[in-house]
């Protein structure tokens, strides 16, 4: 998969089935446990997991700062792909799940409206995505 100037790609191989990874995202009680960078917690106000459904939540940073988030699901293919639109800042996230032997590769593709916006968020998103994957790996154990 080639990367465009307006995209951030993050990927990790997990020793779990596509179905297990999909469940970790599609079940809000699981998702709230691992979503976000190291030290963050979540409060979900709405999680309507269907195309057109909203996901409204607050991420609570380890320093006490609250980050309100609003996304809208665009496409959901069970155990294959989840696409959502993050409202502000605006970007689209495509999460894909692909079998690799007995494992599953989860890839996140964050698509920003401009390459300038992407470059502004890259120093935050790249390490945060890796921390998010670390938290998911711990959740799956």
State percent of the chain over pLDDT 90.
95
Burial 38-70 (b: 16+ CB within 10 A, else e): eebebeeeebebeeeebbbbebbeeeeeeeebe
Pick from 30, 35, 118: nearest CA to 71: 35
Based on the number of CB atoms within 10 Å of its own CB, is 123 exposed (0-12), middle (13-18) or buried (19 or more)?
exposed
Domain count, the chain: 1
4 domain residue, yes or no: no
2 domain residue, yes or no: no
118 domain residue, yes or no: yes
16 domain residue, yes or no: yes
Domain that holds residue 67: 9-140
Which pLDDT tens digit goes with each residue over 105-133? 999 999 999 999 999 999 999 999 999 99
Which pLDDT tens digit goes with each residue over 58-96? 999 999 999 999 999 999 999 999 999 999 889 999 999
Dist. CA 13–CA 47, nearest whole Å: 26
CB 123, CB 113: distance < 8 Å:
no
Rounded to two decimals, the pTM is 0.93
CATH of the domain at 30: 3.30.530.20
Q: Provide CB contacts within 8 A for 119, sequence distance 6+.
A: none
86 domain residue, yes or no: yes
3 domain residue, yes or no: no
1 domain residue, yes or no: no
């Amino acid at each position: 998969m080639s990367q465009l100037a307006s995209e951030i790609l993050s990927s990790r191989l997990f020793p779990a089935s596509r179905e297990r990874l999909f469940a970790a995202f599609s079940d809000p009680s699981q998702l709230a446990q691992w979503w976000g960078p190291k030290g963050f917690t979540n409060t979900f106000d709405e999680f309507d997991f269907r195309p057109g459904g909203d996901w409204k939540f607050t991420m609570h940073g380890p320093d006490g700062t609250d980050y309100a988030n609003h996304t809208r699901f665009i496409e959901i293919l069970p155990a294959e792909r989840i696409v959502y639109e993050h409202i502000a800042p605006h970007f689209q996230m495509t999460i894909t799940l692909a079998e690799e032997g007995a494992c599953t590769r989860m890839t996140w593709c964050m698509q920003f409206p401009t390459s300038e916006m992407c470059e502004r968020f890259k120093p935050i998103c790249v390490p945060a995505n890796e921390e998010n994957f670390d938290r998911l790996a711990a959740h799956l154990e």
